[in-house]
């Protein structure tokens, strides 16, 4: 694709050699004459000046000192995501059911569905137009998969799960396993039956080895456009709002509510029935106590989670503790000397 064509497709302007052919996107450090690189931020712009990339995606205010071939865009990171999809399209898969797959007779498969080797689809399930079920996937009875979904290898979807359109499920993720519900009776734990459901909205992406538990009663719900990283745990009866982002190794206990556009960092722990209001930000490694409410737009950090300003102040104060301890020790010794002197006199 020529630089001129790429700029036109992006609705942007170019400078330099508009006829240059570009075929791939790569890092600024490794880019060559046929590659596109992008510079988002001042540090990246400095790297871009020395890059061998044939074309650069840069911000509108980038200074083109060396007369490089470039395309100016409002958001280089967003633009390069589009360019990657154009120059590196996802592999296509021929529709049809692999001979080694097991599909029950009453399953409804939409037009263009692909079912990979060793996959199984239970009775009464429905698979929407253009959806791909990868090798080794296990789809339970009555499951609904929407249109143009992508299930990578070895995804497990239990009975009682509805998945929206254009959902991406990465390898090893599990939807609809029982929630962690037990009742202690006569010194022994008895299982509390988990008879609820899971509903996944449109355009959700769920990472590898992430688990979304079914509700004990009612629905565990993941809203439209939510993005869950690898190794995330969503407990029973949680409600995750639209366009929420949750990073790896985060765990939500039962009944947690996360409202629209909240951002949750990695290794965060959230207690039962906590509420994270819209556009709140939980920094990595923080802990939210049971029933706690993190207010809309608030940024919190630490365990227990506190407003970022408060947490940073406390960290700063902690730095003075060794010196304070030394001073207290010296004061204690001085007092002891004065008391000893007083006793002698």
First to last CA, the chain: 97
Burial 107-125 (b: 16+ CB within 10 A, else e): bebbebbbbbebbbbbeeb
How far out from the chain centre does Cα 122 lie? 29
Contact, 233 vs 249, CB < 8 A? no
Q: Is 311 a catalytic residue?
A: no
CA 34, CA 6: separation in Å to the nearest integer?
13
CA 30, CA 38: separation in Å to the nearest integer?
12
Q: In what order do the strands lie in the sheet with 219-222?
A: 108-109, 126-127, 144-145, 161-163, 197-200, 219-222, 239-240, 257-258, 275-276, 293-294
CA 252, CA 234: separation in Å to the nearest integer?
5
Q: Which residues pair with 120 in a beta bridge?
A: 102, 138
323: Cα within 13 Å, side-chain hemisphere: 5
Work out the angle between the directed axes of helices 76-87 and 3-10 (0-180°, nearest 10): 120
Q: What number of other Cβ atoms are within 10 A of residue 283's Cβ?
A: 17
Query: Which of the residues 236, 243, 311, 317 is marked catalytic?
Result: 236
Contact, 218 vs 196, CB < 8 A? yes
Residues ≥6 apart with Cβ < 8 Å to 316: none
Contact, 121 vs 136, CB < 8 A? no
Catalytic residues: 236
């Amino acid at each position: 694709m020529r630089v001129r064509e790429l700029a036109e497709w992006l609705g942007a302007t170019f400078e330099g050699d508009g006829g240059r052919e570009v075929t791939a996107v790569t890092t600024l450090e490794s880019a060559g004459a046929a590659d596109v690189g992008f510079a988002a931020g001042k540090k990246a712009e400095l790297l871009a000046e020395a890059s061998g990339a044939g074309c650069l995606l840069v911000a509108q205010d980038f200074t083109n000192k060396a007369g490089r071939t470039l395309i100016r865009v409002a958001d280089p990171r967003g633009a390069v995501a589009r360019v990657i999809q154009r120059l590196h399209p996802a592999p296509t898969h021929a529709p049809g059911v692999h001979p080694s797959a097991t599909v029950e007779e009453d399953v409804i498969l939409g037009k263009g569905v692909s079912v990979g080797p060793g996959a199984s689809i239970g009775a009464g399930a429905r698979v929407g137009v253009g959806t791909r079920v990868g090798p080794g996937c296990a789809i339970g009875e009555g499951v609904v998969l929407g249109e143009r979904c992508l299930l990578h290898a070895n995804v497990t979807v239990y009975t009682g799960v509805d998945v929206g359109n254009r959902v991406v499920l990465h390898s090893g993720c599990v939807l609809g396993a029982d929630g962690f519900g037990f009742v202690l009776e006569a010194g022994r734990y008895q299982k509390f039956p988990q008879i609820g459901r899971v509903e996944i909205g449109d355009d959700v992406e769920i990472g590898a080895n992430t688990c979304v538990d079914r509700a004990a009663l009612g629905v565990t719900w993941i809203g439209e456009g939510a993005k869950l990283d690898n190794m995330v745990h969503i407990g029973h009866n949680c409600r995750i709002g639209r366009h929420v982002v949750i990073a790896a190794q985060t765990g939500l206990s039962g009944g947690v509510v996360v409202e629209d556009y909240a951002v949750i960092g990695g290794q965060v722990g959230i207690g039962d029935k906590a509420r994270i209001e819209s556009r709140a930000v939980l920094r990595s490694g923080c802990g939210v106590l049971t029933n706690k409410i993190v207010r809309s737009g608030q940024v919190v950090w630490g365990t227990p989670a506190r407003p970022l300003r408060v947490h940073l102040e406390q960290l700063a104060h902690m730095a003075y503790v060794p010196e304070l301890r030394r001073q207290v020790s010296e004061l204690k010794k001085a007092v002891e000397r004065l008391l000893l002197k007083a006793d002698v006199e």
